[in-house]
Structures are given as C-alpha cells and as structure tokens.
C-alpha cells in the first residue's frame, strides 16, 4: 500500500487562502505540511508551483489596483507615492548612501587649483 499524498486539493486550497491573506511561506505551511514537502512540490509540480505563485501575488495585485484607481481619480499623494517608487531615479526623495545593488559609491576625484601657483 502506498503512502497517502501529503499535498491534496484541500491542503492546496488552504495554502492559497493563507497566501491571499498575506501570510509568509512559513506561516502558510505551519501546521499543514512539512517545509521540505512544500519545497519538493514547488520544485517538482508545475501546477502546484503556479498556483502558489498566483496566490502569493494576489494581495500585491490588489494593492496595485487600489493605488492605480486613486491615481486615476487625481489623488496627488498617491501619484507622488507611485512615482517615488516606480521612477526612483527621477522622483525619489531619498538620498542614496550606497551605489547600485548596495555596492560602495564611487568617489569623484576633483582637482583643486591653488590660486598662488601657476597650475591653472
């Protein structure tokens, strides 16, 4: 007799519900399936992987839709918020203290001229 399947349709439905409610992966699987089982299914079952991906993105998509509706209605604060995050180079109010991808900023060397010398 074979071992019962760990990831059944009711388990998948519960995982999807928890993801849509904003849970992290560890919060989702807690008390339902083992972490190793979850990751094995993600790696080996394309349908399961796609369903989990869609469920994880659900709340983000809802939030984007809310912001988009507010921007379309002319909400200035929402428009500024969107631009600061989606077009950081042009609209961010933040000052970077690191370079791209967290690397060190590259120093800019400036040569100062001494007014009392002929090095002009």
pLDDT tens digit sequence for 33-67: 999 999 999 999 999 999 999 999 999 999 999 99
CB atoms within 10 A of CB 15: 24
What is the distance between the alpha carbons of residues 49 and 118, in angstroms, rounded to a whole number?
Answer: 70
Domains and CATH numbers, the chain: 9-102 (1.10.10)
For 84-88, the CB contacts below 8 A with 24+ separation are none
Name the more confident of 89 and 32.
32
In percent, how much of the chain has pLDDT > 70?
A: 87
Task: Tell me, rounded to whole angstroms, the distance of Cα 111 from its chain centroid.
Answer: 42
- Split at pLDDT 50, 70, 90, the class of 71 is very high
pTM above 0.75, yes or no: no
Taking phi first (over 0 means left), then psi (-120 to 50 degrees means alpha), and beta for anything else, what does residue 7 get? beta
């Amino acid at each position: 007799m074979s071992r019962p399947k760990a990831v059944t349709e009711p388990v998948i439905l519960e995982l999807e519900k928890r993801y849509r409610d904003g849970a992290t992966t560890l919060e989702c699987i807690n008390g339902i399936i083992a972490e190793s089982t979850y990751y094995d299914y993600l790696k080996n079952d394309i349908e399961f992987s796609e369903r989990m991906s869609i469920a994880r993105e659900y709340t983000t998509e809802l939030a984007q839709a809310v912001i988009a509706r507010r921007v379309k209605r002319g909400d200035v604060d929402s428009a500024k918020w969107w631009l600061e995050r989606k077009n950081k180079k042009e609209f961010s109010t933040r000052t970077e203290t690191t370079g791209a991808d967290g690397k060190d900023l590259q120093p800019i060397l400036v040569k100062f001229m001494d007014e009392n010398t002929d090095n002009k």
